Amino acid sequence: MSQVNTVLGPVDTTELGFTLSHEHITLGAAGAAATYPGFQDRQHIADSATAALTEAYEGGVRTIIDVTTFDLGRDVSMMVEVSQRTGVHVIPCTGNHLAVPRIFWGAPVERVAELFIKEIEEGIEDSEVKAGIIKVASDRGGVTPNEEIVLRAAARASNATGTRISTHTWSPDRVGDQQVRILKEEGVDLNRVYVGHSNDDTDVGYLTGLLEEGVWLGLDRYPGGRTSETPTWDVRTAVVKQLIDAGWAHRLMLSHDHSTPAVQPSEELRRERGEFNPDGYLFITRNVLPRLLELGATDADVQAIMVDNPRRFFED
């Protein structure tokens, strides 16, 4: 039986249940709480996240993969508190997002890999919470030299520990292709790789090309339509159905990339940014899955995408 690290300790993969594959309890910035104490109401954030994930649990969500890295303001003790209060399994990450720390710039890849391995095998920061996944990120324009250091370090940490990798990409620039190339150069088992944010455009050829490489595909930005250049949620869902029809239901995962704001913006501002999500962690449950069934997907397809595939991702 396989296990995966959560913030409350290892959990058998059979216990993960309905899983959202790319979420955040909250987002911030590295060191912000210590540098600017009082700017954020930490307990209010924890209480708001608890309320949101309690509602999600009541709606059937059992696990979230929280890909909040150090540079995104990762708060492990808050993750522990929210998981304890809600019953939702929270799988934490090591790795980095786009704000690659300056100390990594030009650093030997092996030294960075050692940091990730420490957080997987010993604990994140000064806690006993062990990372269950490695996060890497590249965005518009492709993989930068410093992001490549992190990507190769993640690959070596994965090779050393068997830990899965989750990537942030910008699909209109086909950034996933670049990430896969580098991971292959490092000898990573691509069955351990999840290429995320792959539903920011409708290029099914690009997506099937990634799947044919052997990765898992994260269609994990919902509701979508964050900018005029990215698809709305119903268009994204039609792409999911196209991939199901092409025989890929067994390699897809869905999620929102949702978080509890550290500082609550106005609803008007969130609408302007294209971030408004009235259903939080339940948008997929309430909107996307019913639409998929209307389009002709089966209950077995939904079970595969939301339950079986995340479990198998951590097992295979």
**pLDDT 10s digits, 124-182:** 999 999 999 999 999 999 999 999 999 999 999 999 999 999 999 999 999 999 999 99
Does residue 234 have a pLDDT over 80?
yes
Q: Can you point out the beta strands (E) in 70-227?
A: 89-91, 93-95, 133-137, 164-168, 193-195, 216-219
Q: Tens digits of per-residue pLDDT, 53-86?
A: 999 999 999 999 999 999 999 999 999 999 999 9
Q: Domain locations in the chain? A: 3-313
CB-based contacts of 231, cutoff 8 Å, min separation 6? 199, 200, 201, 202, 224, 225, 239
What superfamily would CATH give domain 3-313?
A: Metal-dependent hydrolases (3.20.20.140)
**pTM attached to this predicted model:** 0.96
Per DSSP bridges, beta strands 93-95 and 9-12 are unpaired
- The identity of residue 60, as a single letter, is G
- The identity of residue 195, as a single letter, is V
Beta bridge partners of residue 253, listed in sequence order: 218
Q: Tens digits of per-residue pLDDT, 239-292?
A: 999 999 999 999 999 999 999 877 666 566 555 555 678 899 999 999 999 999
Res 277: pLDDT? 87
* Cβ contact 158:190 at 8 Å: no
